[in-house]
Amino acid sequence: LMHLKAYYGLDIENGSLSAVGADIPFLAGDAGLAMVEGLGEKIRPQSPLKGLRWIIGFPYWRSDTSAAYRGIDDLRREAKVSLCPEEYETEAFEILRKLRAGQAAGLLPNDFLDVVSKGRPEYFRAFETAESSGALAWGLSGSGSAFFMVFDDGELSRRAISLLDREDWLIKTTELE
C-alpha cells in the first residue's frame, strides 16, 4: 500500500484501510511512530525515537490471534484489565519520555501477555535476558508472534543476541537500528 501511495498516488482514507485491519492505516502511512486510536483510523504522529536498537525474536510456535482476543475478552469480563483510554495514553507518553531520556522503562504493557504466556515460559526467559543485558524496554509484539527488546548501546544489544542465539525455541532474531 505504501508503494501504491508513493508511486501511483493512491489516495485511500484511513477509515477504509481500517476495514482491512486496525494496523493497516499506520503501516500504510508515513509516520514512523504514532499514537493510534479507534479502529486504526485516528493516527497522531510522534517525533521519532533516535539512537535506539531493536531486537526482535521470533519463536517457533504460531500465535492464535482469535484465541488471544477471546482470552482478552475473558480477562475483561473478570475485570483484570482496568485502565481507561486516558490512562493508556498517559502510560504510553511516559514510556516515550523514558526512552527519549535513555531511562529504563522495563516490561512494556501488552494485554495479550497474560493470555499468550500461559504455557510459554520462554517469553519470560527472553524478558529476563533483556533485563540482565541492559535493555531499556522489552515486551510482547502484538498477540505473541514475536517479542522485542530496546537498547541504546550496541554492545549491550550484541550481548543479548549472543544469549538469545543459545535458545532452541527461537527460529530467528533480528536487530534493527
Q: Which residues contact 10 (CB under 8 A, 6 or more apart)?
A: 1, 4
pLDDT at 143: 87
- Which of 81 and 63 is assigned the larger pLDDT? 63
Q: Which residues of the chain are in CATH 3.30.70.890 domains?
A: 49-176
pLDDT at 170: 96
The domain 49-176 belongs to what CATH superfamily?
A: GHMP kinase, C-terminal domain (3.30.70.890)
The answer to whether residues 17 and 107 touch, using CB atoms and an 8 Å cutoff, is no
Q: Which residues contact 23 (CB under 8 A, 6 or more apart)?
A: 36, 40
- In the chain, DSSP assigns E strands to 34-37, 42-45, 53-59, 106-107, 137-141, 146-151, 170-176
Q: Which residues contact 40 (CB under 8 A, 6 or more apart)?
A: 14, 17, 18, 21, 22, 23, 24, 25, 26
pLDDT at 37: 78
Written as one letter, the residue type at 25 is P
Query: pLDDT tens digits for 53-63?
Result: 999 999 999 88
- In 18-167, DSSP assigns E strands to 34-37, 42-45, 53-59, 106-107, 137-141, 146-151
Report the SS3 class of residue 50.
Answer: coil
Q: Does pLDDT of 148 surpass 60?
A: yes
pLDDT at 12: 64
> What is the pTM assigned to this prediction?
0.82
Give the pLDDT band (50/70/90) at residue 30: confident
Give the pLDDT band (50/70/90) at residue 5: low
CA–CA gap between residue 158 and residue 130 (Å, rounded): 11
